[in-house]
Amino acid sequence: MFNQPTSIPEVLRDVPLVLVDTTDKLENLPSVVSDELRFGRDVAERLIRAGCKRIAYIGLNDSIAAET
């Protein structure tokens, strides 16, 4: 599973926030992150039930920072 901790700008510190697919480096804000392992398992199981025989995952080893 991957999510990249982020620094929240000081100007937003007093704004009510919930982070999505990231965490606060200072661990002061609530966040919601996906369960990527479960998602992958669910997808594979659905493909197998649909009769797929050659299933592959193509991904990267390098982490990629989200861009704004």
Q: Give percent of the chain above pLDDT 90.
A: 41
Query: In the prediction, which pLDDT does 41 show?
Result: 93
Amino acid at 34: S
Query: In the prediction, which pLDDT does 60 show?
Result: 67
Domain ranges of the chain: 1-68
Which pLDDT band holds residue 61 (cuts at 50, 70, 90)? low
For range 25-42, the mean pLDDT:
90
For range 21-34, the mean pLDDT:
89
End-to-end CA distance of the chain: 21
How many helical (H) and strand (E) elements, i.e. helices and strands, does the chain have?
1, 4
Which pTM does this prediction carry?
Answer: 0.57
Contacts of 6 (CB under 8 A, 6+ apart): 19, 22, 23, 24, 25
Of the candidates 11, 5, 9, 10, the one whose C-alpha atom is nearest the C-alpha of residue 24 is 5
Give the Cα separation of 62 and 68 in Å (integer): 19
